[in-house]
Amino acid sequence: MAEAIFYRSDGSPGEKVKLPDQLLSAEIKEAVVHQYVKTYLRNQRQGTHSTKTRAEVSGGGTKPWRQKGTGRARAGSNTSPIWVGGGVAFGPKPRDHRSPLSKKMKRAALRSAFTDKSNQGKIAVVEVPILEQPKTKIMAEFLGKLNLLDKKVLLLVEGKDENLLKSCNNIKNLRYKRAILANCYDVLSAEYLLISPRALESLGEVYSQ
């Protein structure tokens, strides 16, 4: 049974909270995590890289010099790939790098990531401060009380909160995300994982299906 420490909004620790079994895996599947991360990063590529072929660069049209008699190597066009300013041979063209990720793989990878963080004791359940307006100072003080201000932290909450989002955006190492949108790469990229009680409950319900 995996547990995480609960922290109140004032930073004081409370009783330990049991993490849903549905979020954890019996073993960390490194091969699945590796494949997921590689595919996820590949899917983030825009694929807009492009070079011009010899047919697309400016120039050409006439033979630079006659075929024989000059003593120079024969040349048919100044757009040749071997010329400076010529086209690129076999260069990249815009394309889609996306590869599909199955629901089963996404869940297996995320469970492994959660299990890894849990084994390291780097998951905490927190009572997120209620913000009536965006206030970076309050969130910075909250992280300071948890000794996480200089750590890379992922905060998972249940619903969208604009005030909380704006307050988190101004803190360099803090990232805010809705729990149901979290993925394996997000969890692995963070040193510590903070989850609100409602977000933890929501994740447990989703992954029990």
Domain spanning 3-46+99-206 has what CATH number? Answer: 3.40.1370.10
CB-CB contact of 85 with 51 (8 Å):
no
Angle at Cα 46 formed by Cα 151 and Cα 55, nearest 5°?
A: 145
Q: How far apart are CA 201 and CA 195, in angstroms?
A: 10
pLDDT along the chain (209 residues), means of 10: 88 89 87 96 95 94 94 95 96 95 93 93 92 91 92 92 89 92 94 94 86
- Tell me which residue has tokens 């969890």: 187
Q: In the numeric block, which tokens belong to residue 112?
A: 């492994």
The reported pLDDT for the residue numbered 42 is: 95
The reported pLDDT for the residue numbered 21 is: 87
The reported pLDDT for the residue numbered 209 is: 74
The reported pLDDT for the residue numbered 124 is: 94
- Give just the sign of the alpha carbon dihedral 133, 151, 41, 180: negative
Q: How far apart are CA 150 and CA 137, in angstroms?
A: 15
CB-CB neighbours of 170 under 10 Å = 13
The reported pLDDT for the residue numbered 1 is: 66
| Short-list 147, 151, 110, CA closest to 22 | 110
Q: Where are the domains of the chain?
A: 3-46+99-206, 51-91
The reported pLDDT for the residue numbered 97 is: 94
The reported pLDDT for the residue numbered 26 is: 77
